[in-house]
Amino acid sequence: MQSSTATMSKTNSIIPVLKLQTPRCCAALKFTVAFIIVAAILLLIGALAPLSAPPAKNSTDWERLHFLFNELGSNHGEDAISFAISSLTLLGMLALITYTAYGMTALPFTWIKGVRAAKRERLEVCEDREELEERRNRIHVKYQDGRRMTSRDRRDMDDLDEKLRLLRRRERHLLSAERSWLNKCFIVCRPFQMVFGIVFILLALIIFVSLLLSCIDRILHGLGYKMGYALPKPQLPNPVDIVMVNTQKVFPLDYILISAIIMYWVFCSMAGIKQMGIWFFWIRMYKIRVQRTRPQALLFMCMILMLIVLTNNIMLYTLSPQYVTFGSQHYWQNGTNHATNETFATLVPCNLNATQG
């Protein structure tokens, strides 16, 4: 009897847990199925979209189907994977334009401006608390003779008590933050924070100028939209490109600089997401707040950061085309002196026209 009773109690305790976990499992399964469907659609579009010349219009359905299978088998699914990655990169580019661009401005100015000190904020909270206590005491004095409190004053007293409770809790948190070692370290590092803010502003300006010059150069001297505006040879001076090409000669200085630029974009993206929150077009879905962020917001934030990191290939090629394409490599270009009819070789940087020399 005792064993059967214990078994029944365990069964009764497990049933509520299963009922609680079932909706969560169903919700997780819905997201998993949605991801599989989206990935399958992208892969199918990339696999079936013809990149070469299709068959003639008078060809049979079997010939067209045979053409699609030959296209899929010739590249072993590379076009499907490339299309899926390109689609995600497009979403990452939209996120980069929205969040990273805003963060490149918000992050340095936030560091230069700084945040309010915990001591100063605590004093302001103390003043607000004393003002509310004085208002509460004035209402309480009105009824010292034993009269019954009106409904309006009762509502005011309840509102004041709730505000006082929140202010006292806020004051305790600020007092503990003021006495913490982390706050003291922030006070010591405050001058360095301003210096880094100024450095980040200058870095943002340099990146903006480099991107602008690179885009203008590709539009004026590129191979056109059919070739993706590929640049045979850079014509306009690009500050970031010049620095990266020269630092490649000193290993591993170029790797350090390129890693610093990528981490700078990530930090700016995080600052932009924190300042703006997570939006879906004009609808604000989640806010990013310290110790009050919902788990769904953290998942969306991680997804946005992954999409932004995915766009590094495009951004780095646009920011520093010569470094990403050829680096500091050179080749000997043959030439002829028509006056003396002698041939000579000149060491020039590599470019897309190198095979013609």
Domain ranges in the chain are 114-179
Q: Phi and psi dihedrals of 162, rounded to 5?
A: -65, -40
pLDDT attached to residue 229: 78
pLDDT for position 41: 83
Q: What is the C-alpha separation between 226 and 180, in angstroms, rounded?
A: 60
pLDDT of 288: 81
> Which are the contacts of 89, defined by CB distance < 8 A and separation ≥ 6?
307, 310, 311, 313, 314
Who contacts 139 (Cβ-Cβ below 8 Å, separation ≥6)? 153, 156, 157, 160
At residue 15, the pLDDT reads 52
pLDDT at 320: 86
**What is the reported pLDDT for 77?**
67
Confidence at residue 75, expressed as pLDDT on a 0 to 100 scale: 62
Taking the complete model, does pTM exceed 0.85, yes or no?
Answer: no
Contact, 325 vs 331, CB < 8 A? no
Looking up tokens 């990655």, which residue turns up? 85
Per the DSSP assignment, residues forming a β-bridge with 344 are 335
- Residue type present at position 125: V
Region of residue 343 (left: phi > 0; alpha: psi -120 to 50; beta: else): beta
> What separation in angstroms does the CA of 326 have from each of 63, 151, 322, 346?
42, 80, 6, 18
Cα–Cα dist 120/126, whole Å: 10
Task: Return the percent helix, strand and coil in the chain, to nearest 5.
Answer: 75, 5, 20
Q: Which helix (H) or strand (E) holds 146?
A: none
Cβ atoms 156, 139 nearer than 8 A = yes
Predicted local distance difference test score (pLDDT) of residue 206: 92
DSSP E strands: which ranges in the chain?
A: 278-280, 283-286, 330-337, 342-349
- Mean pLDDT of each 10-residue bin along the chain, 357 residues long: 48 51 74 83 74 60 65 66 84 90 88 72 78 80 74 79 81 74 72 85 91 88 78 84 87 88 90 86 81 81 89 86 81 72 74 63
